[in-house]
Structure 1
Amino acid sequence: MITSRREIGKAHIPLWAAGFVALACVAILALSGWREWESRQVDLKNAEVDMANLARSLTQHADDTFDLADTILTGMVDRMETGGTSPAAVEKIRTFLQSRKYNRQRIRGIFVYDETGRWLATTEDVNLTGLNNGDRDYFQRHRASTERGTLIGRPVKSRSGGQWIITLSRRFNHPDGSFAGVVLTSIDVAYFTEFYRRFDIGPNGSVSLLNADGIMLARSRDEDGSNVGRDMSKSSLFRTLKDRPSASVYYFKSPLDGLERLSFYQLSSRYPILVLATKAQEDVLEPWRQQSFTRLAVVAGLLLVIALTGFAFVRYLLQRQRMAAALVAKEADFRLLAEQCSDVVMRVGLDERILYVSPSCARVFGHDPAKLLGAPALAAINAEDRPRVEQAIAALKNGEAEEARLIYRVRHREKNEIWVETALRVTRAAETNKIDGVVAISRDMTEQQDLQNKLAALATSDGLTGLANRRHFDERLLEEWARAKRDGTPLSLLLIDVDHFKKFNDHYGHQAGDACLRALARILDAQIRRPADLAARYGGEEFVLLLPNTDSEGCMQVGERVREALLELGMLHALNPPSKLITVSLGGATNVPAQSMTEHAALIAAADRALYSAKNAGRDRLVMSGQVVAWPDAKSA
């Protein structure tokens, strides 16, 4: 009887095992499905965060662009209302606009129209005769309304250039308050389109800039401009926008291409515009689909093994236990990394002493958080940066501002100094609602700051020779001209051109030509003996030496040293008789700018003429433009 019962029990073991295996398979399938769903949601959530960050950044970019245009409009309205629209005043405005070189990437042009819409002045190189913008919507709105604010109009095609533009305009008045005309700035739609294309948001991702009425201003996926000016006010987003927050995640099916999109929209707090950053859901989920297929295939294989034998089931359980242990270890590692990457949160009282600091302080600043409690919050800040931080905290404590953001240097316990970015915000007592302190959230920005410094250095140097580039030279020339005019000191300039360089390139090859230019650059760099001196590549085989506080005699000495050093180098040039060596021609000019002189181009022109004289006289020589004296009554051209 006992034996029979034991056999029955043994007979039931396969059923129990089969039931257990089936239950385990169902449980594993359910867990795998749940995990895949969670992974899908995580991918979507990460994409939402990416789109939110992108939309906020691009909204700030749009605000900055419109701020620049608004600032220009404000200044021009003040000029027009102060000077009036008389022929003499209009001529001054035209001269003023033509003499200004604005950033054509952001601000395309500036226009002034009289009360009838007739063009008075512009930065564009067009004939103003017969041009009239009285039919434009923005002009009619300014004429009909006394509102003095900036109007962001619908995109229109420019009458001066033919391209799509976004207009910002302001009304200006006669002294009696009546309508006198309109000042307008234009921004190329292509500027926003090209800027948005720089961001990698997938093959079907897009960024759109719209006004608050739903009119499309710019879109990254719009090569032919067909979507500019399109009315999107009937879309579900704009129909319900009044009931939505100013910024939020938004899922929708695009009326432009029919794709299901994940997006984040951000309304500007300063201008009636909205930025919509989107990714196609299929682009977001494609990596998940591929990984999910692989994971499910693995799970199916494991389930097949489990179904074959109980031994495989036990091994699988052991393997799952090992995998679970590995997963716990990985989760612990991930948690540690997450804590390492967290920002430092600090609470500061009105006495500017630390009330609380998060554990990540030990990683970012190298200090034990417990030892910092009660310490002065500003003690470790660099002395040069500390006044700015003190000013910001004082403004927060006095109620002049609710929040602030600063970048400054802080002493590290183990390193010399690090750069940190800190967001400051006031805290208020729950009972009285009075300010009782400041919360500071800080992150390490040292690598980003170093990268910015490297990029700034690259932007001012020539890639081949390592000398300053033309742009940096132009900026320094303006500075040194202003300093020389202010101090009454001489300013000298040397233009250097390699003789018969094209023949050298054709005969010896471009690599030899590059080596020649680098050798000359080293010679020029060796002549830079004062911090204010500057050697730059002016263009092609032309170089320039800027010598502040140097008279004509000193300029000649530097030029002769350059010429002789190159001859001593003895670089062969068979097509440059009679020496058959690499030589240079130099043109020098010296000037003492008078207070009434504003044009520095005369110095370059004088050196250029001297350079041509040196070439015409046989090359391999230095020619000075002559003694140049200050011109007290001279006016700029």
Structure 2
Amino acid sequence: MFRRPSITFRTMAFVAIVCLGLLAIDGWNSWQSRTVQLRQMNVAASNLARAMAQQANDTLKAADSALVGIVERVEHDGTGPAAVERLRKVLGAQVDEFPQLDGLHIYDQDGNWVANSRRTPPQNLNNASREYFIFHRTNEDRGPHIGIPVKSRTSGELLVPVSRRINHADGSFAGVALATIDIDFFMKFYGSLDIGEGGAVALVLDSGTMMTRRPFVAEMVGRDMRDTGLFRAYAAQGGAGAAFIKSAQDGTMRLNSFRRLEDYPLFVSAALSKDETLAGWWQETLWHTAGVMVLALVVGFVGWRLVKQFELQIKTEDELRHARDALETLNKTLNTLAMEDGLTGLANRRQFDVTLDNEFGRAMRNASTLALIMMDVDCFKQYNDIYGHSAGDECLQTIGRTIARVAGRRPGDLAARYGGEELAVLLPNTDVAGAVVLAERIRSAVRELKIVHAGTEDGFVTLSAGVDALQPLPGAAQPKELIRAADQALYAAKAGGRNRVCAAMRTVPA
């Protein structure tokens, strides 16, 4: 009842399905590539915001720390002529110590200048009308106050004021201690950030006042940001978050990653242009689409030719077999070459195992010794818990480079990542004493990196090492015995308090 479709129809239907499949796969791959690009954009913006928040917090912390000591000195020593002269020297020394400080100033209860850090003190200067002075006069809060940006009456520079209240002995208002930070200090740091041509970064008070921004426009400093999409997104998401927002300043659509400072009522925003980020993706997608369309036309033409010249099928199958064989050969070659750990750049476990067997056999034939150092980063799990896995990866990379530098002086030595945070160094023609010396150099070099680790007693990242050496004899020791002994020595180093080198209790034959 039904006619079987002709070979022409079946071939053309197959070609059509293939072409549509190519287009669908290319479209899916392009969309996935776009998703990855936006995810990387989000990570980059988040990292920028984190760095900006840390820089701003540290900068304000330095200024506030100086103010704490100044307030205590003024409240204790008073503001007599001798005390003021001593205070002026202290203020100058503080400014010299902290480059982020533009100046330190003391004002009495009426806003009159008492002392400051400048070599040439201003005359008849009264700041009673300043926002920060009014705040402290009307608020008994003894904590720091970050005021709205002001223009210096002496230098004309835009400054960020950080202030604290000074009290009389009875708790009444006695004046204000003020630290000023040049906005240019923040701008120099922001200028070092790679945000592209369309990116923007900003520092904003929780109250909505713009402190500074890159690209810098002087009129933006002090502007009320409460009606902007950025501030609404920040208020809605809390201390940290991200959102695509169309800029109220230049109309550019950006991914804004914002983060509140840890100790002060401000937040930072790092924004990357969506169009700029996706420009490369668009170009690549257009090339892909054009290529796939050309490929689809070629496939259609080949399909039509198959109907006329069916013998091309055999040739095509042969070519596919050759391509498959070439791919298998290439995969085998890549597997052979895949002997390096992708994170640390050291030899991977596979290369270590192969080299251990080879060196073990060579040591047996030559009646020489073979030493092994097994190392483990101390408290590495706590490091990941405290600083995150990304920081943990960077830590392992730094340690890997250090081990490669210290242990890679002889051609036959092999430094490898044994697994996780465990590392190993294989040393042909080396006894226990020589291996212990090298292990101590590695341990000391890692400690000298001074990688901060709040989870250790020392406060820095350290490693422990276990050392063993043997002279293989036929039918006696096996490679696993060397690993086991070095591992036991490593365990002893860990049990003994970490950040140390222990040698296995073994006697190496002469």
Q: Distance in 2 between matches of 1:61 and 1:188?
A: 14
Q: 2:180 aligns with which of 171, 179, 186?
A: 186
Residue 69 of structure 2 is aligned to residue 15 of structure 1: no
Contact 1:382/1:410 (CA < 8 Å) preserved in 2? no
Aligned to 2:500: none
Contact 1:90/1:120 (CA < 8 Å) preserved in 2? yes
Give the deviation of 1:318 after TM superposition: 4.0
Aligned to 1:430: none
Aligned to 2:274: 281
CA separation of 1:412/1:39 partners in 2, compared to 1, >3 Å: closer, same or farther? farther
> Which one is further off, 305-314 or 197-206?
305-314
Contact 2:203/2:210 (CA < 8 Å) preserved in 1? yes
Q: 1:406 aligns with which of 460, 485, 494?
A: 460
Partner SS state of residue 124, structure 2:
coil
CA separation of 1:169/1:371 partners in 2, compared to 1, >3 Å: closer, same or farther? closer
Q: Distance in 2 between matches of 1:295 and 1:215?
A: 46
Aligned to 1:553: none
Residue 52 of structure 2 is aligned to residue 58 of structure 1: yes
Aligned to 2:479: none
Partner SS state of residue 444, structure 2:
coil
Aligned to 2:301: 308
Residue 198 of structure 2 is aligned to residue 204 of structure 1: yes
Question: 1:98-130: CA deviations, max 9, x gaps?
Answer: 466525741111111001000111123444322
Q: Distance in 1 between matches of 2:453 and 2:221?
A: 45
Contact 1:361/1:367 (CA < 8 Å) preserved in 2? no
Aligned to 2:433: none
1:183-262 paired onto structure 2 within 5 Å: 183-222=177-216, 224-262=217-255
CA separation of 1:319/1:227 partners in 2, compared to 1, >3 Å: closer, same or farther? farther
Q: 1:340 aligns with which of 339, 342, 349?
A: 342
CA separation of 1:370/1:219 partners in 2, compared to 1, >3 Å: closer, same or farther? closer
Q: What TM-score, normalized by structure 1, do the two folds share?
A: 0.53
Contact 1:264/1:277 (CA < 8 Å) preserved in 2? yes
Q: What TM-score, normalized by structure 2, do the two folds share?
A: 0.65
* Cα RMSD after superposing both structures: 4.3
| Aligned residue type for 2:444 | N
Give the deviation of 1:69 after TM superposition: 0.3
CA separation of 1:54/1:240 partners in 2, compared to 1, >3 Å: closer, same or farther? closer
Aligned to 2:109: 115
Contact 1:109/1:185 (CA < 8 Å) preserved in 2? yes
CA separation of 1:278/1:329 partners in 2, compared to 1, >3 Å: closer, same or farther? farther
Q: Distance in 2 between matches of 1:253 and 1:391?
A: 40
Q: 1:79 aligns with which of 73, 77, 81?
A: 73
Aligned to 1:514: none
Task: Number of aligned residue pairs: give it.
Answer: 384
| Aligned residue type for 1:340 | G
Which consecutive unaligned segments of at least 5 residues does structure 2 have? 307-311, 346-375, 383-391, 404-415, 424-438, 469-493, 495-510
| Aligned residue type for 1:252 | I
Question: 1:216-254: CA deviations, max 9, x gaps?
Answer: 1111201x4221111111223433534414222221111
Q: Distance in 2 between matches of 1:170 and 1:200?
A: 35
Q: 2:163 aligns with which of 157, 161, 169?
A: 169
Kindly indicate whether structure 1 or structure 2 has the higher relative contact order, using CA contacts under 8 Å at least 6 residues apart.
2
Which consecutive unaligned segments of at least 5 residues does structure 1 have? 351-357, 396-403, 415-436, 438-637
Q: Distance in 2 between matches of 1:393 and 1:52?
A: 25
Contact 2:49/2:257 (CA < 8 Å) preserved in 1? yes
Moved over 6 A (4+): 336-339, 342-350, 358-363, 370-373, 388-391, 409-414
Give the deviation of 1:296 after TM superposition: 1.4
Residue 144 of structure 2 is aligned to residue 144 of structure 1: no
Q: Aligned residues: percent identity?
A: 33
Aligned to 1:269: 262
Higher-helix-fraction structure? 2
Q: Distance in 2 between matches of 1:102 and 1:197?
A: 24
CA separation of 1:361/1:286 partners in 2, compared to 1, >3 Å: closer, same or farther? closer
Partner SS state of residue 31, structure 1:
helix
Aligned to 1:33: 27
Aligned to 1:602: none
| Aligned residue type for 2:129 | D
Question: 1:312-356: CA deviations, max 9, x gaps?
Answer: 897599499769959x959x88xx799621799987899xxxxxx
Give the deviation of 1:16 after TM superposition: 0.7
Q: Distance in 2 between matches of 1:110 and 1:55?
A: 28
Q: 1:102 aligns with which of 96, 104, 107?
A: 96
1:355-504 paired onto structure 2 within 5 Å: 364=400, 366=416, 368-369=418-419, 381-382=443-444, 385=447, 393=455, 406-408=460-462
Partner SS state of residue 269, structure 2:
strand
CA separation of 1:119/1:338 partners in 2, compared to 1, >3 Å: closer, same or farther? farther
| Aligned residue type for 1:168 | V
Question: 1:259-284: CA deviations, max 9, x gaps?
Answer: 11012111112111111111111110
| Aligned residue type for 2:224 | D
Q: 1:159 aligns with which of 135, 141, 153?
A: 153
Q: Distance in 1 between matches of 2:214 and 2:301?
A: 55
